[in-house]
Structure formats: C-alpha cells, structure tokens
Structure 1
C-alpha cells in the first residue's frame, strides 16, 4: 500500500509535467515513467506481494526465492543510490514528489527487506544464485542504453554517455561502463549478504515450523 501511494504521487506529478506540454502519448508517458528504476522496481515489489498473497500460477516468477532476494538487493541499491548520489543534489521539489521520494527510496526498500527476512521462506538460496539475482538489474541497464539513443532521453545522467556537466565534457561510453560496473559490484555485495542472511534464518525458520 505504501509503495502504491508513492507510485501514484510520482505518476500524478510526472503526468502533470510531461503531459500536454510535451505532447506525449499515454504509451510514451508510461514507457518514460517506468524507465526510472525506482518506479519499475517498486512496481515489481507490488507484483511480488500480490504473487505471494494470491498464489496465482502466472505470477510464479515473482514468488521465486531468487527473484525475491534479487529484488531486495535492487531495493538496497535504490535506497543507497538515491541517498548518496541523488538526494544531496536535488533542487526544491513539489511536496508530492518529496513524499514520494521518501516512500519509494526509503520506506518501501526497508519494509521489503524486513518482509523478506521475516515472512519469506528461506533455505534454498545458494551463492551460485547471485548471477541470476543480478539479471533483472543488468536487463534494466541494457534496456536504458538501447532506448536512450532512440528516445533521446535517459532516466539518470550516470547512464547517459552524452551527459556533460556545466563547463565539462561528455561522459562517454567508457565512463558509463565504469559507473555501471561499480553499481553491479555494489548490488552483488548486497546479494551475497542476502544469501548469507538467508542461510542464517533458515535453521530458525525450520525450528519454528
């Protein structure tokens, strides 16, 4: 519910800014909206919760322990990246966006990790699962880099090879590749930690059962 509120606030404000003045179609706007990792990952969290509560067969991928742990790692990245790389440099924003940022970048990541630790089943994750846990994040980066030149826009400057700070030069593909590599290593560390925690929780969960 918290994530849904945050996504709705974000949708409302972005729709107001990106609507008629830029003459975007609904499809174009939705693609733009979900090009942000924050919005996309929080939407996936909603599907994980729905899959777990409903048991729907077609949502089976979202119930998979590797998917859940992988999303926990991505949400940790969302929180850390926002806190250290985005928040300090943001201008004054509409109150709805301020609330949305808090909900989507701090509240939902922490709540999801707590939910995963307390209510998700444990004991099946292995360190060899870490590459699979990284796949959604890598697929997201590939999508952004393929879409960027075609759409002429990138959701984050760190992923834009053509971005140049005032008075500076364009980042270039190599800088983007290095930045992505650093983020992948960070998520891999989170994922390794989650697998370790999964192994610690599993015996206690079995005893409680």
Structure 2
C-alpha cells in the first residue's frame, strides 16, 4: 500500500463516507447557527463568517472533513495525495484530539449550549474527534511516521495563534477565554498559548508512538 492510499473498502468505505458527511453537516450547522444568531441581532453576516473561521475547532474540523471526503472518494489529484499522506493525516489526528481534550478539560464548564447548538457542539468537539481517530486507526497505513514528523505539525497551531492575536487586536474579540489579551494581558496569554502548544506536542508524540507500535505489529 502506497503512502497516499487508505484502506476504505466495503463496510469501512461506507463508514468513512458517513463520517465525512457527518463532519460536513456539523460544520454547516455551526455556520448556520452563528449566522442566524447575528441575523436576529441585526449584526453583520460577513462578521459571522469571520467569527466562524476564527475557531480552532472549526478550522480543524474542516481539515478532518477534507481528509475524510478525499478518503471516501476516488480520483487522483495533487491535493488528494497531499491530504491522504500518513504524515499529514497524523498531524490532523493530533489537532482534532487536542480540540477534544482542550474543550472537555478547559472550556466545557464555561457555557451551557442548548438545542441545536448543543448538537453542533457535541459533533465538533466529541463525535468527530472519536470518528476520525477510529478512521486513522483502521484505515491509514502505519509505521511511516517519524519522531521528527511532529515539528511540521506545530506550524498549524503556531500560525493559528499568531492569526488570532492579530485578528483580536483588529476586531477587539477573541474566540477563547484563555487568549483574551484585553482581559489577561500579553504575558499570561502567551503563557497560555505556550501551554496549549506543549499539549499539542505531547499529543503529537503519542500519535507517532502509536503509529510506530502499530507499524511494528
């Protein structure tokens, strides 16, 4: 099996298609809820799109949906080959696991979503991370990752933090309470960001360790 191939035959192929569709549904639902809320409050819908793309959860779930969609479909393109590389999928696994852990450990207690928002919340933070880890475990070739693979993965959260700090200074709001510069100040915000990056690095090394153990097995 080549590095850019995944095992999605038979029942596993149906399951991957279902997961890809569910991931897209969760994202569309969250976007709808943000836009509907802003419409009711008479606020800019374009600003709602900006808010939607400001969440690390949303951006990472977009990556998950893209990988699953490419895995569930056939064809050949440079973009498809890129996203189906085990090294790329390993980085996406690390990011979506971080989303799940950070939300459940740091953010779940900060609000109490109801109705459709609760559905979107659970799909994006719990259901899709679990489904993607299952997909990665069974369908992605193992034994390819190296310990050095984690360093390129760090680019994604680093760029995100830089972007969100610049955006926050521009619009005056931040998507997560632990990076609210206007309330915490830069020293505490950067410390919090560094702790999250360390958490991402630890999760990444676990992903590599599992990959190498499964490859040997």
Normalising by the smaller structure, the TM-score range is 0.7 to 0.9
Query: In the TM superposition, what whole-angstrom CA distance separates every residue of 1:168-204 from its partner, at most 9, and x where no partner exists?
Result: xxx1101011111111111111110111111111134
3-state SS, counterpart of residue 154 of structure 2: helix
Residue 70 of structure 2 contacts residue 80 of structure 2 at CA under 8 Å; is this kept in 1? yes
In 1, the alpha carbon distance for the partners of 2:214 and 2:42 equals: 50
Question: Who is 1:181 aligned against?
Answer: 194
Query: In the TM superposition, what whole-angstrom CA distance separates every residue of 1:10-32 from its partner, at most 9, and x where no partner exists?
Result: 12211111236353243x33222
Question: Who is 2:136 aligned against?
Answer: 116
In 2, the alpha carbon distance for the partners of 1:19 and 1:37 equals: 23
In 2, the alpha carbon distance for the partners of 1:19 and 1:127 equals: 47
Structure 2 unaligned runs (5+)?
Answer: 1-20
Alignment of 1:75 onto 2:96: yes
In 1, the alpha carbon distance for the partners of 2:42 and 2:179 equals: 23
Alignment of 1:65 onto 2:86: yes
1:106 corresponds, among 126, 139, 145, to: 126
Alignment of 1:15 onto 2:28: no
1:136 corresponds, among 148, 156, 159, to: 156
Alignment of 1:50 onto 2:63: no
CA RMSD of aligned residues (A): 1.6
In 2, the alpha carbon distance for the partners of 1:194 and 1:58 equals: 23
In 1, the alpha carbon distance for the partners of 2:186 and 2:150 equals: 26
In 2, the alpha carbon distance for the partners of 1:74 and 1:42 equals: 9
Distance 1:61 1:29, change over 3 A: farther
Alignment of 1:197 onto 2:210: yes
In 2, the alpha carbon distance for the partners of 1:147 and 1:34 equals: 11
In 1, the alpha carbon distance for the partners of 2:43 and 2:117 equals: 22
How many residues end up aligned between the 2 structures?
195
In 1, the alpha carbon distance for the partners of 2:51 and 2:196 equals: 22
Distance 1:72 1:182, change over 3 A: same
1:39 corresponds, among 46, 51, 58, to: 58
In 1, the alpha carbon distance for the partners of 2:103 and 2:205 equals: 21
Structure 1 unaligned runs (5+)?
Answer: 164-170, 205-209
